[in-house]
Amino acid sequence: MFVWSYWKTIFTPPASPSNEFCLSKADKEQYEREERPESQQEILRKAAKDLPIYTTTASRAIRYCDRCQLIKPDRCHHCSACDVCVLKMDHHCPWVNNCVGFSNYKFFLLFLMYSLLYCLFVAATVLQYFIKFWTNELPDTQAKFHVLFLFFVAAMFFISILSLFSYHCWLVGKNRSTIEAFRAPTFRNGPDKNGFSLGCSKNLREVFGDETKYWLLPIFTSLGDGCNFPTRLVIMDPEQLAVSSQNEPAKSCGTSQPFPAKPLSESQNRLLASESQWAESGSEEENVKSGAKKHIIVSMES
């Protein structure tokens, strides 16, 4: 299982955005002719109005990769080592010489887990000989130094991998990537480090899938397509969203045009269709409903 997971982590190619995120030939030529950033952003906003994206740059601009010449989906980043945009990029790992992202993140986690168990097994089996070495009960041969070296190497790798594995387990529970842990994604309401978090159990299912019997196997079972992710910030129905948009002024991206609204149906999947909803979404829906009631009362009085 250790070798299988390591193999899958290395040789699974990073997933790239689909063609729908690429600019058309006319838009690309117009984008290259424009010199003003405002005009370029206007072209990108028109091209992105029907795409399922909810995040922007820190300056509220459309996330565009000049290298790959495409609009970046949510959680997508360009890897300078691989020279390609990677869906849900976590980091570029030199130990596997590959990008860790949507296509192989589960394999990477299993690789860390089985590496941890392998180091623990080696250290446990060598421990008795290590004790004999310190008590001078081990025969005076060159092999005793090999035992000492093997035990220390297994113990050091176990400690280092344990810290890395624990950190990534925490990231999975929070539904964050390593990049998002250091720089929170920016939504319409501003940066939110928990914007993609759906609750610990749902976050775990998003990476490992619905069927637990496949969780420990290095088989791809992650939910979604890597381009579109459900968020706890975008779960309102269109009528509630329309009411809230009337009550609150639209936030612009440096120009008079607001950031394009995305179809809510594209952000829904079976993770959001379960009967139990998390506390944050419930409080937000109550706030929106109360705002809608106030708007109706004011309209009737006027």
Highest mean pLDDT among 14-28, 135-149, 168-182: 168-182
pLDDT at 239 > cutoff 70: no
158 token code pair: 């176990």
Q: For 22, which DSSP code?
A: B
Q: What's the pLDDT score for residue 222?
A: 94
Reading phi first (left if > 0) and then psi (alpha if -120 to 50, else beta), residue 294 is in alpha
Q: Which two tokens stand for residue 127?
A: 């421990």
Q: Higher pLDDT residue, 253 or 147?
A: 147
Compute the distance between CA of residue 4 and CA of residue 115 in angstroms, rounded to an integer: 11
State residue 213's pLDDT score. Answer: 93
Distance CA 270, CA 254 (A): 35
C-alpha separations of 99 from 21, 163, 198 in Å: 20, 20, 25
- Residue 141: what pLDDT? 64
pTM for this one?
A: 0.76
Cα separation of 253 and 45, whole Å? Answer: 9
Instruction: Collect all residues with Cβ–Cβ distance below 8 Å to 234 and sequence separation of at least 6.
Output: 54, 262, 264, 267
**What mean pLDDT comes out for the span 57-85?**
93
Read off the amino acid at residue 196.
F
Q: Are 89 and 101 in contact (CB under 8 A)?
A: yes
- Residue range 92-150, pLDDT digits in tens: 999 899 999 999 999 999 999 999 999 999 988 888 877 777 777 666 666 667 777 88
Distance CA 59, CA 184 (A): 13
pLDDT at residue 152 in the model: 87
Residue type, position 89, single letter: M
At residue 189, the pLDDT reads 84
- Residues 179, 279, 215: CA angle, nearest 5 degrees: 55
Q: Are 77 and 179 in contact (CB under 8 A)?
A: yes
27-44 per-residue burial string, b: 16 or more CB within 10 A, e: under 16: eeebbeeeeeeeebbbbb
Q: Of the listed 93, 119, 169, 200, which one is catalytic?
A: 93
CB atoms within 10 A of CB 225: 14
Q: For residue 279, what is the enclosing H or E element?
A: helix 279-301
What value does the mean pLDDT of the chain take?
79
- Which residues are CB-neighbours of 150 under 8 A, at least 6 positions away? 122, 126
Give me the residues paired with residue 65 across strands: 70
The β-bridge partners of 100 are: 91
DSSP helix/strand/coil, 65: strand
* pLDDT higher than threshold 90 for residue 260: no
CA 270 remoteness from chain centre: 18
Residue 176 confidence (pLDDT) above 90: yes
Look-up of token digits 């009528």? 239
Q: What is the mean pLDDT of residues 212-221?
A: 94
Per the annotation, the verdict on 93 as an active-site residue is yes
